[in-house]
Amino acid sequence: MADKTIPGNAYEFSVSELSMALKRTVEDTYGYVRVRGELGRVSRPASGHLYLDLKDDKSVLNGVIWKGVASRLKVKPEQGLEVVCTGKLTTFPGQSRYQIVIESMELAGVGALMALLEQRKKALTAEGLFDPAKKRPLPFLPRTIGVVTSPSGAVIRDILHRLRDRFPRHVLVWPVRVQGEQSAEEVTAAIKGFNDLAPDGPVPRPELLIVARGGGSLEDLWSFNEEIVVRAAAASEIPLISAVGHETDTTLIDFASDQRAPTPTAAAEMAVPVRADLVARVLDNARRLVRAETRKVTELGARLEGLARGIPKADDLFALPGQRLDHASQRLGLGLGAATSAKRGQLERVAGRLSGQVLASKVANGQQRTQDLAARAARAEKRHLTDLSGRLAQAGRLLDTLSYQSVLSRGFALVRDEKGAPVRGSAGIGPGAPLELEFAGSDKLPVVAGETLDKPAASPKAKRTISKKRVAPTDDQGQLF
């Protein structure tokens, strides 16, 4: 560099040279640092890297967590957390800024977590996720129980042992990590997975869920304070028991669940009753039922005996009706005899009126009446026919008088066109048109219309006429036109 220096002038760096020099200086000087601050902006792009801000009351430091490191963090970065970050400082020449590349992160204190927990609790409470009205009752004796916990811990063994002692049930275990970065996602997926099972599918759908974990610090139990876990528990259609930590430990899933158990063992006790107690209760109820039935039968028997004493004997009940039946039977025989005698007398009186002479007289009278009616009908018919004959003769004479044949008999002729229709005038008849003349006695003569002849001027009132073609005269008929 000294060779490039011009005496009396400063060395000219390029922008890239100066940026890389600063980068090496910062990384060599601050290759390992621990920084305490409050997390500000936290960005999670699709690449998987995390970009955040560390700040205090005066300054802000940009930070980046590469994808491989982000999946191993014990603390999930969230805005507002006070943390201690370990890493190295470097620069980003593209934007002339420096940043810390974080390799590990831990909470700065329990107070920060408690403040974040209280803030999240208030927000979820305002949404109604912890509303007691939404709590569902637990089933009395579920056939299948789903357990969300670590399969390798003592929690699942305690739950199975307690269920076996109280009332053995079919148990489905969904293995999850109960601590660490991926714990919240796995617990959420397990709750949703149990709810998505079909009721009649190959894997039975649980009727009750238990989310369990052993005791630990606030940081260890933080997965069960995550918002996704709380929302999944509140949205579960299957009743859910939360058994996270010991009796003094409280997480947000406890408020969203339908029932909170102080320990996983207590959750198993809430899930099922004691079988021996149920058997004893059933036997006791059976004995009480038998005693109650015996007492009831005894009371009803005594009451029946008391009522029976107030009922009269059967002989007393049927004595009076039997006596009335005997009297009615005796009167029935006498009544039948009297009725028969009366009806026989009526029949004899009627039979006297039905002699043959009376019938013959009535038949003769009927025949005479029939003959009289027939004679009257014949006379009426003859008169009616005579009247109709007179009316018909009169109509015939009128028809002859009004018929055109009578007109033809007086020397007139009827002109018809080629269709046989009468011609009432010369209008519309051209020369050469075939015509037919009909005379009296149905004598018909075919003719043809002739040319129009010259005619003298007519008077104003004279009608216009059309002359016809002359027809050769015959022996019995003169010229017509």
Beta-strand pair 97-107/60-65: parallel
- pLDDT tens across the length of the chain (481 residues): 445 555 557 788 888 888 888 888 888 888 889 998 888 889 989 888 999 999 988 899 999 999 888 888 877 788 878 888 999 999 888 888 889 999 988 877 666 677 778 888 898 999 999 999 999 999 999 999 999 999 988 899 999 999 999 999 999 999 999 988 789 999 999 999 999 999 888 999 999 999 999 888 887 888 899 999 999 999 999 999 999 988 888 899 999 999 999 999 999 999 999 988 888 889 999 999 999 999 999 999 988 888 887 777 777 777 788 888 888 888 887 888 888 888 888 887 777 666 667 777 888 888 889 988 988 998 998 999 999 998 998 888 888 777 777 777 777 888 888 888 888 777 778 788 888 888 877 788 888 887 544 444 444 443 344 444 444 444 444 444 3
- 145 and 269 share a domain? yes
Residues 94 and 157 placed together within one structural domain of the fold: no
Please check whether residue 237 lies inside any domain of the structure: yes
How far apart (Å, rounded) are the C-alpha atoms in residues 61 and 92? 13
> Are 224 and 104 contained in the same domain?
no
Contact assessment for residue 397 and residue 428, using Cβ atoms and an 8 Å cutoff: no
For the chain, how many structural domains are there in total? 4
Residue 255 lies in a domain: yes
User: Looking at the structure, do residues 281 and 268 belong to the same domain, yes or no?
Assistant: no
- Counting other chains too, the contacts that 54-59 makes at CB distance below 8 Å and 24 or more residues apart are 54/83, 54/85, 54/100
Same domain (yes/no): 421, 472: yes
Q: Are residues 148 and 268 in the same domain?
A: yes
* Same-domain pairing of 90 and 161: no
Instruction: Please give the biggest Cα pair distance in the chain.
Output: 184
In this structure, are 243 and 302 located in the same domain? no
**157 with 263, same domain?**
yes
| Residue 79: CATH number of its domain | 2.40.50.140
Residue 358 lies inside a defined structural domain of this protein: no
pTM > 0.85: no
The CA distance from 200 to 260, in Å, is 29
Whether 267 maps to a domain, the answer reads yes
> Is residue 344, in this structure, part of any structural domain at all?
no
Q: Final residue of a domain: which of 251, 283, 311? A: 311
Q: Is residue 325 part of a domain?
A: no
Domain boundary among 259, 285, 311: 311
Beta strands in 133-279 (DSSP E): 144-149, 170-175, 208-213, 240-244, 259-260
Q: What is the DSSP letter of 421?
A: P
What residue type is 193 in one-letter code? G
**Counting beta carbons within 10 angstroms of the beta carbon of residue 401, is it exposed (0 to 12), middle (13 to 18) or buried (19 or more)?**
exposed
Domain match, 227 and 283 both: no
CA distance 130 to 156: 27
Domain termination residue (choose one: 273, 296, 323):
273
Domain harbouring 170, CATH code: 3.40.50.261
**Encoded tokens for 393:** 């003769």
Domain-located, residue 49: yes
Same-domain status, 167 and 76 = no
Same domain, 268 and 284: no
CA distance 24 to 34: 19
Range of the domain at 180: 126-132+141-273
**381 falls within a domain:** no
